[in-house]
Structure 1
Amino acid sequence: PLRIRGSDSRVLVNRGWIAAPGDGSPVAAPIPRGEVTVTGEAHLPSPPALALHGNPEAAKDWGRRWPYLTLELYTAATGIQILPVVILQDPVVVNIRVI
């Protein structure tokens, strides 16, 4: 989650996706450190059409790969309170700059 400067508020940023190797092993995207600027669009996420498990506490057992993400599941699994919006990072204007 991205902490907004000057507050304790945090927001999730959807940075897109990266291709996984053919063997299905996990791939980690690099995480910028320090202060960053993100350009994108605010998105109000909706729950998935089909949820495989209704208990948010179950997300803790999923490890690093989740079949779907909801803000409620994220908060239950991490204990981090986030704003009820996801920033969809602009794939063309990738101007994350670390200060």
Structure 2
Amino acid sequence: MKPPRRFRPAPIPSLVFAVLLPLFLYLGYWQLQRAEEKRLLQVEYDTRANGPAVQVERRLQRAEELRFYRVVAKGHYETDYQILIDNRVHQGRVGYHVITPLRLENSEVRLLVNRGWIALGEDRDHLPVFETPAGLQQVTGVATVPAEKYFTLAQPEPGWQRVWQNMDLARYGAVVPFPVQPVVLLLDPASGAGGFTRDWSRLDAGISVHQGYAFQWFMLAAALASIYLFMSLRRRGTDTPEQEQP
């Protein structure tokens, strides 16, 4: 008859278990929290965007006054400080988002308008050529606040560049000689104000991804616990040296 097993954990596996198990559980719950944040943002987005359109005022406004609302504004596009946001993907193709400042009618304040996606040019040394309509434009769309935290491989060079890796409102406001509303308008797909491909993704599009990552972290935690228990349950007598044979 085999001797019964006893729980006799070794020091090093116990230390590894004590460090990794809370880490795996934390990462799993963090991913669930990110999924819930996206869900709540989408609820707020849908509530505001489906309401009456809000007029963008000629004065500088607070981001909360405009964020996620469907807004309308009149003004003139200015191409001197137009930028391209790099590495935007549409249907598997790499390209840019075109961000054009709109000088609000009878105001010095500009509103940044994301006019949509355009394909990469011949190569990155030759930027794509596109048109920007002149004259008074009326733009409609949903006002968004770009993320303040994002991944970047290198810090941007000082001064003005035509191509940016991310839409950084603080950086943009620091390098242009005019005041800028603290939002970026996603030009409505039905708008005729000089737009390109405008297949805007939902804010909650990544919920299933976060849930999948959470499941993986919890499975790793369960696997770690199982391995630790298996290694720590020893049969009586197996942890003592064998007696020497006479």
Q: TM-score, normalised by structure 1?
A: 0.76
The alpha-carbon deviation at position 79 of structure 1 amounts to 2.6
Alignment of 1:59-70 (within 5 A): 59-60=158-159, 63-70=161-168
Aligned to 1:95: 192
Larger RCO, structures 1/2 (Cα 8 Å, 6+ apart): 1
In structure 1, list runs of 5 or more residues that go unmatched: none
CA RMSD of aligned residues (A): 2.2
Q: Which runs of 5+ in 2 are unaligned?
A: 1-100, 195-246
Displacement of 1:22 after TM fit? 4.3
Shift of 1:87: 0.5
Aligned residue for 1:42? Answer: 143
Given the alignment, which residue of 114, 117, 136 partners 1:17? 117
Cα distance in structure 2, aligned partners of 1:59 and 1:37: 33
Q: What is the DSSP-based 3-state SS (H/G/I as helix, E as strand, rest coil) of the residue aligned with 2:170?
A: helix
Structure 1 range deviating more: 26-35 or 81-90: 26-35
Q: Distance in 1 between matches of 2:175 and 2:129?
A: 19
- Runs of 4+ in structure 1 off by over 4 angstroms are none
SS at match of 2:159: helix
1:75 to 151, 161, 173: 173
TM-score normalised according to structure 2 size: 0.34
